[in-house]
Amino acid sequence: MEVKFNVRRFDPESTNNVPHFQEYQLEMDSSATVLDALIDIRENMDGTLSLRCSCRSAICGSCAMKINGEAGLACNTKIIDVQKKDGSEITIEPAGNLPVVKDLVVDFQPFWSKVKSVDPWLRPDGEEPETEYLAPDDDMLHLANVVSCILCGACVSDCTVLEVDDDFLGPAALAKSYRFVRDPRDDADETRLQQLNEPGGVWDCTRCMKCVEVCPKGVDPMGRIMNLRDRVMEAGYNNTNGARHANAFTDSVKHSGWLDELRLPIKSFGIFNIKAMISLIPTGVRAQLKGKRPPIFHKSIPGAENVRKIFEKVETRK
């Protein structure tokens, strides 16, 4: 089958060192993957094209890139699955949110330094066992999906927070942190959770779901971040904007059946946080002018008692 690729090129050492797209057209087998095609291009059409790959089996994580605008493993993506019906070209770009070294190769240094910053190793206390540290099967089964992370960076590539905030630890590092927080052999929870409660930690995720959608291994980084939020709050770290926001959100829905958007930011920042209160004024004015100011008197919706019952049921199950 005939396939057209539109590949983003960038060579910092070339005279034409402005990122641009280059088209390639080639014949591929219908079972071929995107990586097969890129290797074919590099070997038979254009030896200057740079890309990373190793295992070709979705194990090493080195071939993560954007395929038609969404992160994925090139070796795990069949051309036939991403080719549009109109036969238009498949767009290939380097993974996002990381500096591009050349063409499809990105610099993973920022990625690794964030992963390293969460101490991705067991930190047990007490006496060393004579044989090995043992963990119950159920705990390890629970961690099975997180442990299967291959650190390909797909989640980081498409994280919408990292697009605007370099300080965010990001989905890969946070999921890795969860793996150790949840491991019964680890005794450093307090230090870990304290770090995760800081700016750039668990509260900066906006729950856009992109990391969940693009993860090729079902790690569910966003779900892990939400679990970490619970852990952080259970550990008593309730005095942050994020924790207050989560509590105010829950209280509002539990009480009235819907969200009190007027009081949510006030309760999240804290009424005595004068600076934050003043910063909210322009948003309030804009909302008022557009007719989108939430009601001052927040009334319960019909059937709010049923919502309360759901909360009670879930709370007694804990």
CA terminus-to-terminus distance, the chain: 55
Q: Which is nearer to ligand FES, 78 or 299 (CB)?
A: 78
Q: Which is nearer to ligand FES, 158 or 186 (CB)?
A: 158
Shortest spacing between CB 36 and ligand FES, in angstroms: 11
> Directed axis angle between helix 109-117 and helix 171-181, to 10°?
30
> Which sign, positive or negative, has the C-alpha torsion 282, 287, 288, 293?
negative
Q: What are phi and psi of 280, to 5 degrees?
A: -80, -15
Taking the C-alpha atoms of residue 169 and residue 174, their distance in angstroms, rounded to an integer, is 7
**By the rule CB under 6 A, 60 interacts with ligand FES:** yes
Query: Which residue from 54, 88, 194, 279 is in contact with ligand FES, where contact means CB under 6 A?
Result: 54
Reading the block at residue 177, the tokens are 């942190």
**By the rule CB under 6 A, 218 interacts with ligand FES:** no
**Please, which of residues 237-256 interact with ligand FES by CB under 6 A?**
none
Q: Which is nearer to ligand FES, 60 or 287 (CB)?
A: 60
Q: Which is nearer to ligand FES, 63 or 155 (CB)?
A: 63
**By the rule CB under 6 A, 73 interacts with ligand FES:** yes
Taking the C-alpha atoms of residue 273 and residue 268, their distance in angstroms, rounded to an integer, is 10
- Structure-token match 């003043």, residue found: 278
Taking the C-alpha atoms of residue 195 and residue 48, their distance in angstroms, rounded to an integer, is 43
Taking the C-alpha atoms of residue 225 and residue 171, their distance in angstroms, rounded to an integer, is 8
Q: Which is nearer to ligand FES, 59 or 304 (CB)?
A: 59
Shortest spacing between CB 69 and ligand FES, in angstroms: 19
Q: Indicate the SS3 state at residue 85.
A: coil
For residue 229, give every residue at least 6 positions away whose Cβ sits within 8 Å of its Cβ, in sequence order, or none: 202, 203, 242, 243, 246
**By the rule CB under 6 A, 51 interacts with ligand FES:** no
Query: Which residue from 4, 8, 42, 56 is in contact with ligand FES, where contact means CB under 6 A?
Result: 56
**By the rule CB under 6 A, 202 interacts with ligand FES:** no
Q: Which is nearer to ligand FES, 200 or 216 (CB)?
A: 216
Q: Which is nearer to ligand FES, 54 or 148 (CB)?
A: 54
**By the rule CB under 6 A, 149 interacts with ligand FES:** no
Reading the block at residue 219, the tokens are 């790690």
Q: Indicate the SS3 state at residue 73.
A: strand
**By the rule CB under 6 A, 148 interacts with ligand FES:** no
**By the rule CB under 6 A, 58 interacts with ligand FES:** yes
**Please, which of residues 269-298 interact with ligand FES by CB under 6 A?**
none
Return residues touching ligand FES (CB under 6 A). 53-56, 58-63, 73, 75
